Structure 1
Amino acid sequence: MLMLAPLLACALWPAQAHADSDAEEALPRVVIPAQRDAEWHSYRHAYKAARFFAPYLKTRPLIQAHLQIRPNRPELPLDGLEVQLAGETVNMTLPVDAIGRLTLPMLKQAFDEDAVLRLNRQKGHYHFSGRYSIREREDGVYDGASLRAACEQLLSAQRESGYRLRLIGRKCAGVKFVYAASGPVPEVLHKDAAGALTPLAVERGYPFENPTMGTYQVAIYRFADWPVQGEVLARGKPLAVGTLYD
């Protein structure tokens, strides 16, 4: 996602930081590189940006925000990523989920020490950004009305926090249940008021609003195709739940 407005937002949602490497260049190593070679980001900038965005989440309980590791080329893998928070006394490993997101700990000590967020990949292959998404449910049951409300919450949060010009004329059309690109076809079903189950179509698609993350298996729940009085049943937990705009 590209943040267009506030200075603090830009700190966490920077524009593409590094030019794409040559298509024939080898994929980055999985091992943790030397500190001087690692991709990194300022913890202070990330901390300030997280504080800036917190109010937009406070009144929108159905959505969340993460620090996002984005590949500079869509084909670069996201598996095995880790971020080390390193300062004078602070040193901890932050887990990264399967779609490149992590939760930033809000630590005054790390802020005061001007700590860095260091990725276990060499410079030039990935960059730090940010991500709004719909909260995943552990039980896999998503109420149709709640999915509609979640999409509206996310769209309004984007607009109010700096995306307004980019989203002029856009409206919520549905949500996307995102699964790994390889592996079994996910089973995501619609359950109507009478209890009848209908599988949602699964296709190759982008997990969020642009192609920077590559393609995944995506089950589309388009609002116009289903009544509000129903549920979506995800038989396997999705990597993420994204929005679909028209």
Structure 2
Amino acid sequence: MRAALLLCFALLPAVACAQEDGDWIAYRDAYRQMIWFEKYGKPKQFLQNHFRLRPRDASVNMEGLRLTLNGKATQVSLALDALGRAVLPLSKAAYDDNAELRINRKPGQIKAGPWVSIVTRPDGVYPATDLRTACEQLLAYLRYSGEAGGKQCIGVQFIYMKSDTAQVRFHAKEGAATTLAAKEGPAFAGDAAQGFRVYVYRFAAWPEAGQIITGSTPLAIGALLE
């Protein structure tokens, strides 16, 4: 068993490893991945970083999914949003304690790791220039962390639960408003889970001057990279 765990740490840092009562992740490995964002020195005021759990395929049931931080003297349940995202505490005590992040799912069912997205606004008003800047900031960070090589920002998408009928509109500088079309699909590119309501805002399809106004706060805003 000890040899298997050592092999897991060597080959799959910050990825769930097997445990009898579910999967677990070494907190130190998750901490090292999350701290990249904290140490990133370029502009990131439009970005946020979460620790995210997501199913490896569509057959995995996410209902009742739980993430707990467990140490010798600590057991904390970390709240997950509808997209499987949690705010991971960056705790020196948990790091020194060699704590574990435990997932109540069978080994291999869940992917886990940092997830950067665009910050939502409580007033629901997003200047077009800010969205373009946010997309570029996210792309720059992904390149810094070794991802998204060769891709470009082409837009953003506003993600809602399927049952949420809030509208997303583009308001041109002169005042004309147009409702963006909604589609059903995954929250983010590459996700196995479907069934979210997604509004896609492609930069090339709209004037540079204007703003997006949302009827309610989206679950998340993701960048469209191609």
Amino acid in structure 2 at the alignment position of 1:142: Y
Identity, % of aligned positions: 36
Task: Supply the AA of the counterpart residue of 1:240.
Answer: A
Q: 1:66·1:131 contact (CA, 8 Å) conserved in 2? A: yes
Asked if 1:48 is matched to 2:32, the reply is: yes
Matching residue of 1:89? 73
Give the corresponding residue for 1:198.
178
Structure 1 pair 113–17 and aligned structure 2 pair: CA distance change class (3 A):
closer
The amino acid of 1:177's aligned partner reads F
Q: Report if the CA contact (8 A) 1:41-1:118 is conserved.
A: yes
Are the aligned partners of 1:176 and 1:244 in contact in 2 as well (CA < 8 Å)?
yes
Q: 1:162 to 1:107 in 2, by over 3 A?
A: same
1:226 and 2:206 correspond:
yes
What secondary structure, in the 3-state scheme, does the structure 1 residue paired with 2:108 have? coil
- 1:57 and 1:215, CA in 2 relative to 1: closer, same or farther beyond 3 A? farther
- Out of 87, 90, 102, the position equivalent to 1:118 is 102
Matching residue's letter, 2:192 = T
- For structure 2, which runs of at least 5 residues remain unmatched after alignment? 1-11
Partner of 1:11: 13
Rounded Cα–Cα distance in structure 1 between residues aligned with 2:173 and 2:189 = 31
- Pair 1:167 & 2:152 matched: no
Amino acid at match of 1:173: I
Q: How many residues align?
A: 216
Mean Cα deviation higher: 204-213 or 188-197: 204-213
Distance 1:234 1:57 in 2: 30
Residue identity opposite 1:159 in structure 2: R
| AA of the residue aligned to 1:238 | P
Q: Deviation per CA, 1:24-58, whole angstroms, max 9, x where unpaired?
A: xxxxxxxxxxx732221111111111122322376
Q: Does 1:176 align with 2:157?
A: yes
Q: 1:160 Cα shift?
A: 1.1
Distance in 1 (alpha carbons) for counterparts of 2:221 and 2:97? 35
Mapped partners of 1:213, 1:66: distance in 2:
18
Residues 70 and 126 in structure 1, CA contact (< 8 A), matched pair in contact too: yes
**Where do 5+ consecutive residues of structure 1 fail to align?**
1-9, 19-34
TM-score of the superposition, structure 1-length normalised? 0.80
- Cα 1:158–1:239, aligned 2, differ >3 Å: closer, same or farther? same
Change (3 A) 1:75 1:244: farther
Distance in 1 of aligned mates of 2:117 and 2:125? 17
Task: Provide the alpha-carbon RMSD of the alignment.
Answer: 2.3
Cα distance in 2 for partners of 1:92, 1:126 equals: 20
Residue 108 of structure 1: CA displacement? 1.1
Moved more, 183-192 or 41-50: 183-192
Residues 186 and 202 in structure 1, CA contact (< 8 A), matched pair in contact too: no
